Homo-oligomer: A and B are copies of this chain.
């Protein structure tokens, strides 16, 4: 039997190599590529994707998996988990015809262009027919799979394997009223001043400070690097080459620090996966939500906490003495945690962010099950914004047209952002039980215990456990928003004197 396993590993290994190579090309495209290089790069990426798909969906792989599934039945073993995950990926890959993938790519490309124009003119109608086409194709995609409880389940499963739409709806349903209530209370409290955060900060100094922080987190520059790119992201070329990107925003300079922490959180996950899983179906983090739980934990639960800045603020104040001259630690801490309902998701603060997500999830579900007509989107969007955040977008560009996702036909993963926040708080409660002196360590700038806890409990397993299972395994319960509500309430009660 081990011959068959070796053969499967060989094929999966080559498919992984092709995927990692594509990641290098994608990273280079964002970070280095000269302006004219795009067309050929697109062709090269298409070829790598096509060959990987051909190799992975070969009948031989199906036969091997069928045989191996019978042999390695225990999903707790590494082999059992590898085969389980590979078989699921194989099933998905086999169901979707390559002609459909090509059709979707063409539609996405046209829709993206329309979205750019629609957004620049703030006119949803320009985007409407293309979004309708994208949604139609998403429904077609769903039709390739066996009937689920809800058609949206099929889409969600690509990002959160094993999770059901109903589960997410329940989690969000519990959270939403509490979060709306909290924001209302905050809006009635005395507001936080943060003008000093929006002064001019030197880019190079910020960059170096960001690297000082993430080096303390344990991001190893022998196994990664931080580069400038239009958008911050993390990407892995192997367990020993996990890179992040970052940017400098003149109007929001602190974003350089928090983005570095966020992406380093993702990177620490990938750097912590068991090296024995390299070139197998288990080599990466298990889902977007679990990944986001890591990035949000380092960015928010660590990076926006008072103990963290008790350690770093003196150094920051020294580095930016003119900007922070009269700003006390507590003032700074409050400012970086300022809550303000706003129109744009990516600029949203910790307390309001999830509401942006819930709104999108509800609309996505409605689009997919047909209960929402696409042409009604602007109105629905604006109504929900008013209901959840108390504000109304003045136009489509700042409303329904703000996100790129739907333009390339990507429907199903907005919720993972909010689930990540929720999971991060669940893990955090467990961590605080296991590491009693966590705040003291943070005050000393020591993160090794936290990082090693995450590695031992989450990172090392890579893709071995599905998201709900790993949360259950670590915390004793499935994904649940109670811890997150406790965390938000405590934090903001203190900051806003509620």
Contacts and interface: CB of A to CB of B under 8 A. Distances in A.
Contacts of A25: 21, 24
A127 to B, nearest CB: 30
A43 B17 contact: yes
Interface in A1-45: 13-14, 17-18, 20-22, 24-25, 28, 32-37, 39-41, 43-44
B279 A33 contact: no
B37 A238 contact: yes
B47 A224 contact: no
A28 to B, nearest CB: 6
Contacts of A223: 34-37
A48 interface: yes
A34 B271 CA distance: 13
A159 to B, nearest CB: 25
A61 to B, nearest CB: 16
Given A24-B25, A24-B28, A44-B17, A34 B238 contact: no
Binding site secondary structure of chain A = helix
A391 interface: no
Nearest to A15: B47
B240 A32 contact: no
A144 interface: no
A21 B40 CA distance: 10
Contact of A36 (B17, B48, B241): B241
Contacts of A221: 34
A222 interface: yes
Contacts of A222: 34-36
A19 to B, nearest CB: 10
Most buried by B among A17, A20, A48: A17
Given A40-B278, A222-B34, A48 B21 contact: yes
Interface string A173-207: 00000000000000000000000000000000000
10 contacts: A13-B47, A18-B48, A21-B44, A21-B48, A24-B44, A34-B240, A34-B241, A35-B222, A36-B220, A44-B238
Given A40-B240, A43-B279, 13 more contacts: A17-B43, A17-B44, A18-B51, A20-B40, A20-B44, A21-B48, A24-B28, A32-B227, A34-B225, A34-B241, A36-B240, A40-B278, A41-B237
